[in-house]
């Protein structure tokens, strides 16, 4: 911990800046206003230590120029009420891994004149032309307000029901019926938000006549109780959690008009239980896609009037990967998807591939009359923004040297790119090839990462090696492996900021190794499918092989002293490593680890291991509980007691199994901490605790 008068440590700086996210521009919305000018709206806090996000506008000075001026549109602290943030909003932020405050999300009307957002449980509509702000929720705690395309109404969720406010009239009405407490309207269900990357549960129709609204009934979902032993006066909170092999929530969609009439949009929910995507383009048909429980079958439907009509059914073994931005209908009515074809995730139009097999498409950003813009991996360590025009030609919009994301509008694009050459990302408004930077107010880290990227082994594993800043030729260092190692997350990327914590760990006297193995994104479907039915052996084997290959390249790695650390899947992998390969890994820190996949949720776990009610073999094989008697190395388990994603039961059950087997180990419970650790002191001291653990056990 930093004491008064001492220079601030990197862990404290990292904690106070929320991982250096504060002050960085994000959540870009692009519109063309009534005068033909381009308007870019975004969230940014005042500086790198202010948690409250404000709403900003950067707009072109005229319809014929790409010169932009920037101004503050809404300062969150001026309207903050310090009211209680609704539990549903806290849950939404947890699913999004949102660590900021103030304005954390917003929606725009078609012209970008009006925005809707919530602060401290109150929903507002802001006029971005004159800066006026009007509260549109009275007497209720609002969640996820969505503004109508014409800007006249704001819909929001309160007490699990959907309300809509006519702003001009100042009147609010409830659009959904009062139902049992297990029913929720208008918010994404747990599985969609946690595992399918769908974080919304209501969508305005393009003509502003009504909404498409999700209804979730959790009555058949088993209850898990989340309590805090450090605060015994508080009752444990019930949490409906669909563990592998158990019942999911019942999910349905409904078309609701502004007068309150409700019509269910029907599909075979018995066959397709997961509502994966709902796409309501400004121009084109509404699309809905649903998945079977085993996620091998997908049905894509179009909304015509008040009915859903199936337009395509897909089958993919061992699972269908859900890709952002698709399926969607182009303005000409053609169906745009991303499918696994020829060993790559490729864009298809009416089932015909139109993107190159040399690219793995990760997100479709925009489908317009003139082409399709998308983000893709060429080299797994870089992400490019590219566009396919109507002739079928592909144009790279970024050079492939870094890690880029983008938001696309009718007349402009915002690109956000990071590289190994600098810490942080640069956001730019791009019009006709001209770039206008959007300033970041994020704090500059006190350290400069120096990762060396390698491709090693028979499987061309992508790895990074980070040596201490003070390293000199001939020195050797104990090793800390710092992987995630599982589906949906890459660690080895061309972005310096991704290695800040690893560089700090290295500077404490270690060589740090990061490896992306089988199952991680960026290398296509076959690579991801390698972990089907086994989340243990392939991922651990790749860590072992990469470490051995890197030791041949980099003599600074002392492989007689190797530790491993990780959080979530990385925590599972860290514990697995010392249990299965104590000959390679000599100590482990496992944060919020999954220890038995039977305890984790349906959609994620059954996608990779199948349904345990049909075949429990993969679950038994991958469980850490059955390995407890094999522990011979130091193991530190860390878990937030308020974690509603990887429940604390994972760590407690493994600890119980280790104790029963007579195996010494350490457990660090974190009172009041969820799957994230945004609290400053906790986040700082966790890193300090890890370093002391590895110093003690690696020498």
What is the three-class DSSP state of 158? strand
CA distance 327 to 337: 5
Supply the DSSP string of 672-691, one letter for each residue: T--SS---HHHHHHHHHHHH
Question: Based on the number of CB atoms within 10 Å of its own CB, is 230 exposed (0-12), middle (13-18) or buried (19 or more)?
Answer: exposed
Least confident of 2-11, 124-133, 215-224, 556-565: 2-11
pLDDT score for 65? 76
Contact 468, 507 (CB under 8 A): yes
Q: Which residues, 6 or more positions from 277, have their beta carbon under 8 angstroms from its beta carbon? A: 196, 198, 287, 288, 289, 322, 326, 327
Angstrom distance (rounded) from CA 455 to CA 546:
9
Q: For 92-109, what is each residue's pLDDT tens digit? A: 999 999 989 999 999 999
C-alpha closest to that of 24 among 493, 498, 398, 426: 426
Could you give the CA distance from residue 341 to residue 310 in angstroms, rounded to a whole number? Answer: 22
Q: Is the pLDDT of residue 240 over 50?
A: yes
Q: Please give the structure tokens belonging to residue 254.
A: 């409904």
Q: What is the DSSP string of 181-205?
A: TTEEESS--HHHHHHS----SEEE-
Query: Quick one: which of 403, 326, 340, 418 has its CA closest to 372?
Result: 326
Q: What's the 3-state SS for 369-384?
A: CCEEEEEEECCCCCEE
pLDDT at 1: 45
Give pLDDT, residue 4.
54
Q: Which of 5-14, 180-189, 661-670 has the lowest mean pLDDT?
A: 5-14
The percent of residues in the chain predicted with pLDDT above 70, rounded, is 99
Q: Would you list the domain boundaries of the chain? A: 451-698
pLDDT over 80 at 395, yes or no: yes
Handedness of CA 239, 240, 243, 246 (dihedral sign): positive
What's the CA gap between 562 and 478, in Å, rounded?
A: 6
Mean pLDDT over each residue of the chain, to the nearest integer: 96
Residue with token string 């039961």: 649
- In tens, the pLDDT along 266-283 reads 999 999 999 999 999 988
Nearest to 38 by CA among 13, 64, 19, 17: 64
Q: Are 256 and 176 in contact (CB under 8 A)?
A: yes
**Average of pLDDT values for 581-604?**
98
pLDDT tens figures, 432-487: 999 999 999 999 999 999 999 999 999 999 999 999 999 999 999 999 999 999 99
pTM given for the model: 0.96
Contact assessment for residue 136 and residue 167, using Cβ atoms and an 8 Å cutoff: yes
Q: Is 70 exceeded by the pLDDT of residue 177?
A: yes
Alpha carbon distance 317, 686 (integer Å): 41
pLDDT band at residue 5, thresholds of 50, 70 and 90? Answer: low
**Residue whose structure tokens are 């002050």:** 23
**pLDDT at site 409:** 95
Q: Are 422 and 401 in contact (CB under 8 A)?
A: no
Determine the average pLDDT of the residues in 549-578.
Answer: 98
Q: How far apart are CA 384 and CA 374, in angstroms?
A: 8
The tokens of 504 are what?
Answer: 């700090």
Per-residue pLDDT reduced to its tens digit, 445-455? 999 999 999 99
Q: Could you tell me the CA-to-CA distances from 96 to 93, 100, 104, 457 in Å, in that order?
A: 5, 11, 10, 35
Mean pLDDT of 367-382: 96
Cis ω before 318 (30° cut-off from 0): yes
pLDDT at 678: 62
The answer to whether domain 451-698 has CATH 3.40.50.1820 is yes
- For residue 181, pLDDT over 90 is answered with yes
């Amino acid at each position: 911990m930093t004491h008064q008068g001492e220079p601030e440590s990197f862990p404290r700086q990292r904690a106070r800046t929320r991982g250096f996210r504060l002050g960085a521009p994000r959540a870009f919305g692009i519109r063309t206003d009534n005068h033909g000018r381009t308007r870019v709206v975004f969230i940014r806090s005042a500086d790198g230590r202010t948690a409250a996000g404000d709403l900003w506008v950067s707009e072109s000075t005229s319809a014929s120029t790409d010169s932009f001026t920037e101004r503050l549109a809404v300062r969150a602290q001026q309207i903050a009420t310090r009211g209680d943030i609704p539990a549903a909003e806290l849950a939404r932020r947890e699913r999004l891994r949102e660590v900021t405050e103030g304005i954390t999300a917003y929606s725009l009307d078609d012209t970008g004149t009006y925005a809707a957002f919530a602060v401290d449980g109150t929903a507002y509509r802001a006029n971005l032309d004159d800066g006026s702000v009007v509260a549109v929720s009275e007497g209720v705690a609002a969640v996820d307000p969505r503004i109508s395309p014409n800007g006249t109404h704001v819909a929001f969720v309160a007490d699990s029901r959907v309300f809509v406010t006519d702003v001009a009239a100042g009147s609010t009405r409830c659009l959904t019926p009062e139902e049992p407490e297990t029913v929720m309207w208008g918010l994404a269900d747990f599985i969609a938000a946690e595992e399918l990357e769908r974080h919304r549960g209501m969508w305005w129709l393009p003509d502003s006549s009504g909404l498409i609204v999700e209804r979730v009934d959790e009555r058949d979902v088993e209850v898990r109780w989340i309590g805090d032993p450090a605060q015994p006066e508080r009752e444990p909170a019930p949490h409906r959690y669909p563990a592998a092999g158990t019942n999911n929530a019942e999910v349905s969609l409904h078309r609701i008009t502004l007068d309150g009439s409700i019509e269910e949009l029907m599909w075979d929910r018995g066959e397709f239980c997961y509502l994966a995507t709902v796409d309501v383009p400004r121009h084109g048909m509404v699309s809905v896609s649903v998945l079977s429980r085993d996620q091998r079958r997908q049905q894509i439907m179009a909304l015509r009037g008040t009915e859903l009509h199936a337009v395509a059914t897909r089958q993919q073994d061992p699972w269908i990967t859900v890709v952002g931005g698709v399926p969607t209908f182009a303005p000409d009515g053609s169906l745009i998807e991303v499918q696994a074809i020829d060993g790559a995730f490729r864009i298809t139009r009416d089932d015909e591939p139109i993107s190159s097999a040399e690219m793995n498409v990760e997100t479709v950003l925009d489908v317009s009359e003139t082409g399709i813009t998308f983000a893709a991996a060429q080299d797994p360590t870089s992400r490019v923004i590219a566009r396919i025009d109507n002739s079928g030609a592909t144009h790279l919009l970024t050079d492939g040297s870094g890690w880029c994301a983008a938001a696309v509008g009718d007349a402009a694009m915002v690109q956000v790119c990071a590289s190994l050459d600098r810490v942080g990302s640069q956001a730019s408004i791009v019009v006709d090839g001209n770039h206008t930077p959007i300033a970041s107010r994020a704090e500059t880290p006190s350290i400069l990462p120096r990762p060396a990227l390698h491709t090693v082994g028979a499987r061309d594993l992508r790895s990074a090696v980070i040596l201490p800043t003070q390293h000199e030729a001939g020195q050797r260092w104990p090793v800390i492996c710092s992987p995630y190692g599982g589906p949906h997350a890459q660690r080895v990327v061309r972005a310096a900021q991704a290695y800040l914590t690893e560089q700090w760990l290295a500077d404490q006297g270690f060589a740090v190794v990061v490896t992306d193995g089988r199952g991680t994104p960026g290398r296509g479907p076959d690579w991801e499918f390698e972990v089907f039915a086994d989340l243990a052996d392939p991922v651990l084997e790749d860590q072992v092989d990469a470490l051995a290959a890197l030791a041949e390249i980099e003599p600074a790695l002392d492989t007689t002293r190797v530790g491993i650390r990780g959080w979530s899947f990385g925590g599972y992998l860290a514990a697995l490593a010392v249990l299965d390969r104590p000959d390679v890994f000599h100590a482990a820190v496992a944060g919020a680890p999954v220890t038995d996949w039977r305890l984790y949720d349906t959609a994620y776990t059954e996608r990779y291991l199948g349904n345990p009610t049909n075949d429990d073999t993969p679950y038994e094989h991958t469980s850490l509980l059955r390995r407890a008697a094999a522990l011979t190395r130091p193991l530190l388990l860390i878990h937030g007691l308020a974690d509603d994603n990887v429940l604390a039961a994972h760590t407690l059950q493994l600890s119980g199994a280790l104790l029963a087997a007579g195996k010494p180990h350490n457990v660090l419970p974190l009172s009041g901490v969820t799957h994230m650790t945004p609290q400053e002191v906790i986040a700082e001291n966790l890193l300090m605790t890890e370093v002391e653990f590895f110093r003690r056990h690696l020498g």
